[in-house]
Amino acid sequence: MKAWRHYFVLGLFLIAVAALSTRVVFLGVTERAFLQQEGDARSVRRESIPALRGVIYDRNGEALAVSTPVYAVSTNPRKANFSAPQFAAMSEVLDIPQAELERRVRTHADKQFVYLKRHAGWDMSQRLDGLGIPHLELRPEYRRYYPSAEIAAHVTGLTDIDDQGIEGVELAFERNLRGEPGAKVVLKDRRGNSIRDLDYLAPPRFGQDVSLSIDLRLQYIAYRELKSAVQVHKAESASLIMADAKTGEILALVNQPSYNPNDIAGQLAGMRNRAVTDSYEPGSTVKPFTAMAALESGRYDTETVIDTSPGYFRVGGKLIQDPINRASLSLAKAIQKSSQVAIAKVALDLEEQAVFDVLARAGIGDFVSSGLPGEAMGRLNNSQLRYPVVRATLAYGYGLSVTPLQLTRAYLTLASGGKRMPLSILKQDRRIETEQVFDPEHVSDVLAMMELVTSQAGTASQAAVPGYRVAGKTGTARLVGKQGYDDERHVAWFAGMVPVSDPRLVMVVLVNEPRSGVNSGGGVAAPIFSRVAERSVRLMGIAGDVQRPLFAEQTQGRRPSDVGGGL
């Protein structure tokens, strides 16, 4: 009896095995494609292979922006069923409140994908992987890192959380820097972890590296001096641009306030690239171009005398005046002493479009086309030149606006012997195309006048650099308030070049609203120029030149009556 039962159970088992085997063979033959598709849908995934973004270098090969590997932590809320202890463990590792994690998963319960954290580091990823929590995925990605932090922030800019450029060079050269992600097919286990790569569909294409014209050494010098000056003078903001007079390459570009692109939380106020986006009235920094217009007219030379007595005169309803009665001044002395009266009288004695034409040829009121985002055009308009007061104020820097970037290019035309050339943020490895816009002899005379500005008797004696001849011009422009021009708020400028005998560096310094009691370009901006230039020329190995003014301190000029119009 017992044997019968044994064989009966064995027979049933064999029949069941045979039936299951037959069914398996049947399904394997008739439903193979369907079953393979269903199996792949649960375990085979197509994944993107992140592409490495190109590196941003300075002109000497120092990295300004690099990409570092990190991980994105994600999950599938439809499949994930995290317990309270699992949420607590993830919260501790991710440094995210447990309630926030639970809310995030619960809010996206109907989704198949949600990020829990982006840009998780290697240590964090290893700790998460060690938790062994099902449906907790780690996907490789890249995060941008900026070694120079806020020193070069306004040049490099930054990327967003998806590694797309949103500011500075990162945005301007996004198409070059970004890569094209690849694709692969991977096999995953029931926990969502990748077991192995099944196939590579396309390799990633890495982004191109970009070499900038910036010299990080000079950038640091400029950054340090500008930040110190803003603190000392209690200024609202400041900008500095340094360019190579031979190539038009921007060697340094800094602003204050700045920001740290590695962590921008709470630093939005410092993100604006003021040297490129903000425009101001340039004040007396345009007087050398008025002098250029006077020389081009053929009616003035450097020693032509202008009578400024009694130290003021009226143009229409506007009173134009100097701090003191300077009596008779040569054109060179008018630049050295920055006489409003003398420059205004010269402008009124010239053709209606003369000063405007010189400024336009220097690039004022035109796009610089540096490639940096947000570049402002400034303002230069000739529609009101029929009014004498407009011509007079234009001659000493009111009624127009420029950015520090535009003024740098304008002074570059003087430093290059009258050649207009482009400003570039990229390192140049080809011949620069230039256009001769000013007579070299006139440029030489203007530089000689500007050199007097930095002499002991000039308005920018603090811009001097020991062992080098410096040419430049100060500017102190009042800002416009609710009631018109505000006598308490100023912009301090200094624009200059060094060495005069063979200009190599052009620099523009702007300090916005200094509140320490000193507000002039000569007292605020010129010392910054001096400190930055002194360190820069020595660092670059630029030879000094003999310090000797091209004009005697006491100019022997012609009588005022010798000048057309009696000015």
The string of pLDDT tens digits covering residues 28-63 is 666 555 555 545 555 666 666 778 899 999 999 999
Mean pLDDT, range 355-364, rounded to an integer? 96
pLDDT of 535 above 70: yes
What integer pLDDT is reported at residue 310 of this predicted model? 93
- Can you tell me the distance from the alpha carbon of 496 to that of 481, in angstroms, rounded to the nearest whole number? 29
Confidence of residue 15 (pLDDT cuts 50, 70, 90): confident
Both 230 and 355 in one domain: the answer is yes
Confidence of residue 558 (pLDDT cuts 50, 70, 90): very low
Both 166 and 199 in one domain: the answer is yes
Residue 86 burial (CB count, 10 A):
17
Q: Is residue 565 part of a domain?
A: no
78 and 108 Cβ atoms separated by less than 8 Å: no
| Residues of the domain holding 424 | 216-258+273-553
Which tokens is 22 given?
A: 């037959």
Mean pLDDT, range 311-328, rounded to an integer? 91
Comparing 277-286, 313-322, 521-530, the range with the smallest average pLDDT is 313-322
Both 302 and 434 in one domain: the answer is yes
Q: Is residue 233 part of a domain?
A: yes
Three-state SS sequence of 436-492 = ECCCHHHHHHHHHHHHHHCCCCCCCHHHCECCECCEEEEEEEEEEECCEEEEEEEEE
Q: Is residue 203 part of a domain?
A: yes
Residues 6+ apart with CB under 8 A from 349: 299, 563, 564, 565, 567
pLDDT of 257 above 70: yes
What integer pLDDT is reported at residue 565 of this predicted model? 32
Both 180 and 237 in one domain: the answer is no
CA distances from 244 to 9, 105, 274, 430, 505 (A): 97, 55, 20, 15, 5
Q: How many structural domains does the chain have?
A: 2
Q: Bridge-partner residues for 479, per DSSP?
A: 486
Q: Is residue 26 part of a domain?
A: no
pLDDT of 495 above 50: yes
Instruction: Classify the C-alpha dihedral 479-484-486-487 as positive or negative.
Output: positive
Q: Is residue 390 part of a domain?
A: yes
Place of tokens 């973004």: 53
Domain boundary among 177, 192, 211: 211
Q: Output the average pLDDT for the chain.
A: 88
Both 106 and 136 in one domain: the answer is yes
Give CA 537 to chain center in angstroms: 23
Q: Is residue 106 part of a domain?
A: yes
Q: Is the peptide bond before 499 cis (omega within 30 degrees of 0)?
A: yes
302 and 332 Cβ atoms separated by less than 8 Å: yes
Both 193 and 294 in one domain: the answer is no
Please name which of 347, 345, 346 lies closest in space to residue 312, comparing C-alpha atoms: 345
Q: Report pTM.
A: 0.85
Both 96 and 234 in one domain: the answer is no
Q: Is residue 129 part of a domain?
A: yes
What integer pLDDT is reported at residue 555 of this predicted model? 43
What integer pLDDT is reported at residue 564 of this predicted model? 34
Both 195 and 246 in one domain: the answer is no
Q: Is residue 36 part of a domain?
A: no
Both 177 and 233 in one domain: the answer is no
Both 237 and 115 in one domain: the answer is no
pLDDT of 566 above 70: no
What integer pLDDT is reported at residue 557 of this predicted model? 42
pLDDT more than 90, % of the chain? 61
Question: What CATH number should be reported for the domain holding residue 398?
Answer: 3.40.710.10
Both 200 and 231 in one domain: the answer is no
Higher pLDDT pick, 559 / 353 = 353
pLDDT of 189 above 70: no
Question: What CATH number should be reported for the domain holding residue 105?
Answer: 3.90.1310.10
- Which residues are known to be catalytic? 284
Domain boundary among 173, 196, 211: 211
Mean pLDDT, range 366-377, rounded to an integer? 89
What integer pLDDT is reported at residue 539 of this predicted model? 95
Both 190 and 240 in one domain: the answer is no
